[in-house]
């Protein structure tokens, strides 16, 4: 009887160990797949690298960039600014390669202590634009890479609006220009100044999606000046100088294949 009881205890202990959720069992399992930053050869390996678009609700993140080499290593960080907060990339002994054919490749989670390998974007054409998409499904994280052949659209995939003091911060619709090319999309928005810019009443605006989820801001535009690049996600709005109350002006926006947005203001 004692022998049977001992065998039963040993069996229970074995089952308990097999079901253990300790570090040894969980190492390599993915936690919450919210990705705070992206780091790699395309941004100087900063651990606070911002995504071009980030949607935490769907766990989908994209990065648009121009290839500076034929191969670029990278990893997605769970926590912005923290190398040890967990990352997605290669396995413990293999660099995970991703080519620009749109094929989804699963990334491996490194909990920050294992020294896992990076992921690598392979067979790139130097100087060409690419879009990296990282997303999760059923707790697993995948990445796919595509070569960008068209410039950023401000009205198709996501609709951007001009929202500023001169239109009471309403959603001003963009007009696509016939001057758009294969390399650049051109959009315009026309408004009438309702106060002199020295009053600081109507010289502030943003180019943003509904709810300001994605915005291009942070630039100072002078009437009659050249294109100025807008900053994605900047805290300060764009401002315009040099206008006259009652006069009509047009803001022209230009986008490129790397999701950059530029703007200039001209008098009508």
In the chain, what are the domain boundaries? 23-147, 161-267
Q: Per the structure block, which two tokens stand in for 205?
A: 């605006």
How far is Cα 142 from Cα 158, in angstroms, rounded to an integer? 23
Closest alpha carbon to 253 in 192, 206, 186, 190: 186
How far is Cα 3 from Cα 7, in angstroms, rounded to an integer? 6
- For 71-157, strand residue ranges (E) read 72-77, 87-89, 96-99, 105-106, 108-110, 119-122, 129-137, 140-147
| % helix, strand, coil for the chain, step of 5 | 10, 40, 50
Q: Burial letters for 121-160: b for 16+ Cβ neighbours within 10 Å, e otherwise? A: bbebeeeebbbbbbbbeeeebbbbbeebeebbbbeeeeeb
Question: How does pLDDT run across 54-76, given as a tens digit for each residue?
Answer: 989 899 999 988 889 999 999 99
Q: For residue 9, what pLDDT band results from cuts at 50, 70 and 90?
A: very low
pLDDT at 163 over 90: yes
Cβ 169 vs Cβ 201: under 8 Å:
no
Supply the pLDDT for residue 160: 95
Q: For residue 251, what pLDDT band results from cuts at 50, 70 and 90?
A: very high
Q: For residue 13, what pLDDT band results from cuts at 50, 70 and 90?
A: very low
Summarize the confidence of residues 200-227 as an average pLDDT.
Answer: 88
Phi-psi region of 111 (alpha: psi -120 to 50; beta: other; left: phi over 0): alpha
Give me the residues paired with residue 156 across strands. Answer: none
Query: Please, what is the average pLDDT of the chain?
Result: 85
Summarize the confidence of residues 27-47 as an average pLDDT.
Answer: 80
Strands of the 248-255 sheet, one edge to the other? 175-176, 185-192, 248-255, 261-267, 228-229
6-20, 165-179, 225-239: which has the minimum mean pLDDT? 6-20
Question: How does pLDDT run across 68-115, given as a tens digit for each residue?
Answer: 999 999 999 999 999 999 999 999 999 999 999 999 999 999 987 768
How far is Cα 237 from Cα 164, in angstroms, rounded to an integer? 9
Supply the pLDDT for residue 134: 97
Closest alpha carbon to 160 in 187, 193, 184, 183: 187
């Amino acid at each position: 009887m004692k022998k049977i009881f001992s065998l039963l205890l040993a069996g229970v202990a074995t089952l308990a160990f097999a079901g253990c959720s300790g570090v040894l069992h969980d190492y390599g399992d993915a936690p919450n797949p919210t990705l705070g930053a992206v780091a790699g050869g395309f941004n100087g390996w900063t651990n606070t690298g911002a995504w071009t678009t980030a949607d935490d609700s769907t766990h989908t993140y994209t990065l648009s960039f121009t290839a500076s080499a034929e191969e670029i290593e990278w990893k997605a960080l769970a926590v912005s600014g923290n190398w040890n907060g967990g990352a997605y990339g290669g396995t413990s002994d293999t660099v995970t390669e991703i080519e620009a054919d749109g094929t989804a490749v699963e990334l491996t989670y490194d909990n920050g202590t294992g020294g896992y390998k990076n992921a690598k974007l392979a067979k790139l054409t130097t100087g060409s634009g690419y879009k990296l998409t990282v997303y999760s499904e059923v707790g697993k994280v995948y990445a796919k890479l595509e070569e960008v052949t068209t410039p950023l659209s401000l009205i198709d995939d996501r609709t951007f609006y001009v929202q500023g003091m001169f239109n009471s911060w309403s959603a001003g619709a963009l007009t696509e220009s016939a001057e758009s090319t294969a390399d650049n999309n051109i959009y315009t928005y026309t408004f009438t100044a309702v106060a002199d810019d020295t009053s600081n009443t109507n010289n502030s605006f943003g180019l943003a999606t509904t709810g300001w989820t994605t915005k291009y801001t942070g630039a100072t535009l002078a009437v009659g000046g050249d294109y100025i690049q807008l900053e994605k996600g900047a805290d300060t709005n764009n401002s315009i100088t040099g206008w006259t109350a009652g006069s009509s002006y047009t803001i022209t926006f230009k986008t490129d294949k790397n999701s950059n947005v530029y703007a200039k203001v001209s008098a009508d």
